[in-house]
Structure formats: structure tokens, C-alpha cells
Structure 1
Amino acid sequence: MLAPANEKALKPLTMASLIDSIQRLGLYYHFELEIEEVLQQIYKNYVENSILSLNEDLHSLALLFRLLRQQGYHILPDIFKKFKDEQGNFKESLTNDVEGMLSLYEASHLRINGEDILDEALAFTTSHLKLVSTKLSPSFYAKVSNSLKRSLRKNLHRLVARHYISAYEEEPSHEKALLLFAKLDFNMLQKQHQKELGDISKYVVEKFGFGKKVAFRTE
């Protein structure tokens, strides 16, 4: 599903968007090898050749940065310098690109000590996303609101999947097969976890006698 026929066929943003959807839908563990292969090709073809930041917009760059860094690839946040003005601040025009702002917000959570530009990016995107969130469509508002409450970096995969499945279904360009796969996978894991929880509960009751009548002797 993920691997392109050849390296020339690799379109960074297209593949990155697909990987992002797969991860948010909780399906990443089905495609770990394919995801690594694609990101490796993107890193080799674009990052190592220093051509990643030439034409990409904010959303594309931030998404690629986050996916590569969380996968362990060495990528510097200097690629975001082109979005700053002459005073060294992030351009106010970026606030019109809510999708790009959200992607930069998520990317900034992978910062390490000393990366001032990502500290600035976090403060910039957080304040502006809070201002515009109420003006968004219901599905995109939910996406932004959930991210502001807890970023992908700090969230639980299954909680992300539960929220994102509904949001993804509202996207006009969503992949129907991927959406169906995500729903089936989520329901299957939920049933599996319920069974495991029932087994553990039964074990605890039998082991410690919870739920049984206990006779207390008074002196």
C-alpha cells in the first residue's frame, strides 16, 4: 500500500499525508516496515540533498519534519527559518494557514533543548490556534481542539484513533478502504481488550476472593 513503484514515483507530501493518516487511525503497526521504507527514501532523496525546504509550504514541511524526527532521523528545525520575517518573528500571514499552523504546532512538540525556533513555534501556534479554532468547520475544530488539549506526542494511540476516525470520515478526500480498515481494527482491538479485562478481573476475584462474603470475627 505504501511503497512506491520506484524512487522517482515518490511524492513526499502525498506519502507523508498517507503515513500521517495511517498513524492517526491507529493502523501504524500493520505497516511499520513500509512506513520506514518510505521515510528512508524521503530522507535520502530530499533531506540529505538539502532540497526539502525549497518549495514546500508550511504544512508540508512541518508534517515531514515531524514524521522524520519521530522516526529517529536527523533533521534540523532550520528549515522553518524561511517562514520568519526580517525581525526574526514568524510571519503573521501564516495565521491564515490553519492546517499549516496545526502541523507546525504538532512538530514543535518534538523539539529538544536549545532549539529556540521550535520553542517560538509552539508559543506562536498555540496562541493563534486558540483564537481561530471557534471559526472552523465542526470536524476541523474537533481536530484542532483535541490537539490543543493534548498533542500527538503526548497522547495515547487508541484515543487519537477514536477521535480521528470520525474526523477522517468527514474529509472529502478520505480513502474509503483505509477508513473501513480503521473501523474494523478499532472494534476488533476493543473487543480483544474487553475480553482481556474480563479475564484479568476474573483472575483477581479468584486470587484474592473479591466479591465473596467475608466473615469477620469479633472478640
Structure 2
Amino acid sequence: MDPNGNFKETLINDDVQGLLSLYEASHMRMHDEEILEEALIFTTTRLESLLPNLTNNSLKIQVTEALSQPIRKTVPRVGARKYIHIYENIKSHNDLLLKFAKLDFNMLQKVHQDELNEISRRWKDLDIANKLPYAKDRFVESYFWIIGLSVEPQYSRLRRMLTKVVNMNSIVDDTYDAYGTHDELVLLTNAIERWDISVMDSLPPYMRIVYQELLNIYNEAEEVLAKEGKTNSWKKLTAAYMKESDWLNAGYIPKCDEYMKNAVITATCMLYVTNSLVGMDKLYMTKENIEWLTNGLLVARSAGAICRCMDDISDHEVNQQRGHVASIVDCYIKEYGVSKEEAYVEIRKMVTNAWKDINKEFLFHKEVPFFVLELGLNFAQLVDTTFGDGHDEYTSPKSETKKLLSLLLVQSINI
């Protein structure tokens, strides 16, 4: 910065790599860090203006990728796949390091391919797509979310189980959101609260399929999955879904705070990270770790808020047309009397603030183990990848999503 406290104008053309580094660092900012706020604006503006004239192709790709999605918001596996190619085209790269990076990526990709192949065969045997035609079938996308949470080879058993959990959550969500009657949903909520096969006969036939498969997933899991950790998250989630159904049934649009308190649960972060934790290892599955997550650790709450806000913006117009429960956009418009566009701006500010909360937790919440915090961060990164361009890439995958899945799960890297 110059003596007047402004960023030096000489940086505009002289140090693109430095600008890029400062830009990436600014995404680690917390609340009230004004210098980093200014740094983000300064570097974004400069990098955007410099981009068209960059002659170094490798640097140009780095800047393009960073402006699209900074490292802090990038799923590590996605970032690794892209950066290997960038690094290869940097003249000063280390050949041995590059070769090991490629080998490592391909070896782990083979593990993931084998897992997905096995899980996919078993899932197709269930014939859920034909039995429950109203529900989304996003099996590969579900697996992508799980490798975003726990990519390491030692967590193969966890990924096999959680992929089914994610897909079943998608079906349960669609059941509450678009298919079940209010009275039927009350029955399903009560059944999940009891978590007992004896209540099966109280459910309509199509709900029995959903409920039975939920029970099967956890019955198949090894005993290391703590009962409280695996079922309480489902009970809280379906209770939150039921509250949304009650709001819709009553024609009620809640205040923003009331909506978000429920929305951080329906965003499913708590479900996924809690199940991830209890499925990792006995070493990690401590009472304290599970309680931090189930009682609303700020990282997990913030990741859930990011998910719900970004998802609601991406699906807002479609959901309005089909009579969906009020979203955070609808709640904000009603409570503050603003336009849709103004609501979008303020809700995106909520997303920015949630990222700052996550950054703060990593610096100051020392009593919580790093890997617990990291699960929440991983979820937030997945959300940014799925909803970051304002389009719901889970509900309606576009060519970019298919390209990304192909890079991670199909195409190996040439060595």
C-alpha cells in the first residue's frame, strides 16, 4: 500500500502473480477486516482488466479459474485435477513432483471408479427410479458430493454408505417437497422419529419403499456407526421438512430469521457431516465431536446457510411457478418490501458473511479438531461448485457438470 493507505497503482501491470495471491488471500477474510475487503475489490478489478491481454497462457488460465472460483471455495479434488494441467505448463515445474501428482490422482480415481461401479450396480437392483418415478435420480452427482466430503482411500466404506444416504435424502426431500400429501408426510415424519420397522404398516405403500430402504442402509452399516449419530440427524431433518410442509399447507411465509433457523437443517449439512464423522473411524467418533456437530457447530451452520441461500436463489423462479414453500427470497421480499433483485443482493451478502464465519472458526475454535471443522468447509465448497453460477447443477445438471464429473471419475491423466 502507498503512504496514503491505498493499494499501489504500480501493481496493476507489474505483478500479476502477486495480485493473484492477494486475491486468493482476501477470501480468507473475517468480519471487520477492511483491508482485505479493499484487497478483494482492488485485485478483482485489476485481474479482470488484465486478463484479456495476458500473454502467459498458464497464468491466464490461473487467473480465469481464480475469478470463477477461488481456492477457498474450490473442492480440493476438483482443484487438484485442474491445477495439475496448469502446473505442467509452467516452465519451472518439477518433473518428478508432477509425475507423482499424476500417479496419485489416477490411483485414487481408480479406487473411486471401483466404488461407484459397485454402488451403482446395487442401487440399480433396487429399481428405485421405477418404483418412485417422482423422485430425482442423481446417483453420480450424489457420489461426487461424498468424495467432496471424504476423498481419501481409507474411507471407502464410508463413501459406499453415504452415497446411498445422499440419494435417499434426495428422494425424501422430493417426497416432502413435491409428492406426499400433508397427512402422509405426518405419518412419515412420525415413522422416522420412531425409527422402528414395526410402524411400516402405518405408511402408504410408496412411503414403505422409502422407509424400508432408509432402515436397510443403516442396518447394513458396521457397528462402528453410533446409533445416536446416525438416526438423530434424520429425525431433525425430517422434522424440519415437516415444518416447511406445515408452512406451505397454512400459506404462511415466515420471517427471515425463523426461516433460516429451519433452513440450516433442511440444507442437509448436519446430516452429511454427522454421518461422515461417525463413519470415519472410532478415533474420530467421540461423544464431543458428535455433539459439536449435532448441537450446531458454527462451521456446519454457516455451510448450511450458504447452501440454503444459494440453492433458493438458483431455484427461486422455478419454485414460484410450482407453488413451492416460501424460500429465503420470498421471506426477504415480504419482510423488507424490496424487489427480487434487491433481495438477491442482500442474500448474497448473507452468503459472504457465512464464509467469514467459517474462516473465523478455523482460526479461533481451537478446541474443535481440525477434521471436524473441515467437514463443514468441504460441504460449503461443494455448495459453491453446485450452485455458484446461479444454476442448480444438482437438479438440472448442465454440460459443465458432466464435464467435471468426467474429469474426476472417467478421464485419467496422461503421464
> Which TM bucket (shorter chain)?
0.5 to 0.7
Aligned-partner SS, 1:187: helix
Please report how far the alpha carbon of residue 121 of structure 1 lies from its aligned counterpart in structure 2 after TM superposition: 0.3
> RMSD of aligned C-alpha atoms?
1.6
Partner of 2:200: none
Partner of 2:94: 175
Change (3 A) 1:211 1:189: farther
Please report how far the alpha carbon of residue 192 of structure 1 lies from its aligned counterpart in structure 2 after TM superposition: 1.4
Question: Residues 102 and 129 of structure 1 are in contact (CA less than 8 Å); yes or no, is this contact kept in structure 2?
Answer: yes
Partner of 2:60: 141
Amino acid at match of 2:85: S
Q: Which of the residues 100, 104, 122 maps onto 2:18?
A: 100
Please report how far the alpha carbon of residue 149 of structure 1 lies from its aligned counterpart in structure 2 after TM superposition: 0.2
Amino acid at match of 1:115: E
Higher helix share: 2
1:115 and 2:57 are equivalent in the alignment: no
Please report how far the alpha carbon of residue 210 of structure 1 lies from its aligned counterpart in structure 2 after TM superposition: 5.4
Please report how far the alpha carbon of residue 211 of structure 1 lies from its aligned counterpart in structure 2 after TM superposition: 7.6
Amino acid at match of 1:144: V
Unpaired runs of 5+ residues, structure 2, are 132-415
Partner of 1:192: 111
Aligned-partner SS, 2:25: helix
TM-score with structure 1 length normalisation?
0.56
Please report how far the alpha carbon of residue 207 of structure 1 lies from its aligned counterpart in structure 2 after TM superposition: 3.0
Question: Residues 133 and 145 of structure 1 are in contact (CA less than 8 Å); yes or no, is this contact kept in structure 2?
Answer: yes
Question: Residues 204 and 210 of structure 1 are in contact (CA less than 8 Å); yes or no, is this contact kept in structure 2?
Answer: no
Partner of 2:77: 158
Amino acid at match of 1:135: N
Aligned-partner SS, 1:174: coil
Please report how far the alpha carbon of residue 107 of structure 1 lies from its aligned counterpart in structure 2 after TM superposition: 0.4
1:128 and 2:46 are equivalent in the alignment: yes
Question: Residues 105 and 121 of structure 1 are in contact (CA less than 8 Å); yes or no, is this contact kept in structure 2?
Answer: yes
Please report how far the alpha carbon of residue 182 of structure 1 lies from its aligned counterpart in structure 2 after TM superposition: 0.6
Please report how far the alpha carbon of residue 184 of structure 1 lies from its aligned counterpart in structure 2 after TM superposition: 0.7
Instruction: Figure out how many residues of one structure are paired with residues of the other and give that number.
Output: 129
What are the within-5 Å matches in structure 2 for residues 14-29 of structure 1? none
**1:142-183 per-position Cα deviation (integer Å, ceiling 9, x unaligned):** 111001100000001111111111111111211111100011
Amino acid at match of 2:31: N
**1:38-61 per-position Cα deviation (integer Å, ceiling 9, x unaligned):** xxxxxxxxxxxxxxxxxxxxxxxx
Please report how far the alpha carbon of residue 87 of structure 1 lies from its aligned counterpart in structure 2 after TM superposition: 2.5
Aligned-partner SS, 2:109: helix
**1:175-219 per-position Cα deviation (integer Å, ceiling 9, x unaligned):** 11110001111111222111111111111122346589xxxxxxx
Change (3 A) 1:118 1:209: closer
Name the stretch that deviates more: 163-172 or 95-104: 163-172
CA distance in 2, matches of 1:153, 1:210: 36
Amino acid at match of 2:83: Y
Change (3 A) 1:206 1:172: same
Aligned identity (percent) is 50
Partner of 1:202: 121
Partner of 1:88: 5
Aligned-partner SS, 1:92: coil
Change (3 A) 1:130 1:206: same
Question: Residues 142 and 167 of structure 1 are in contact (CA less than 8 Å); yes or no, is this contact kept in structure 2?
Answer: yes
TM-score with structure 2 length normalisation?
0.30
Partner of 1:51: none
CA distance in 2, matches of 1:210, 1:119: 47
Unpaired runs of 5+ residues, structure 1, are 1-83, 213-219
Amino acid at match of 2:37: D
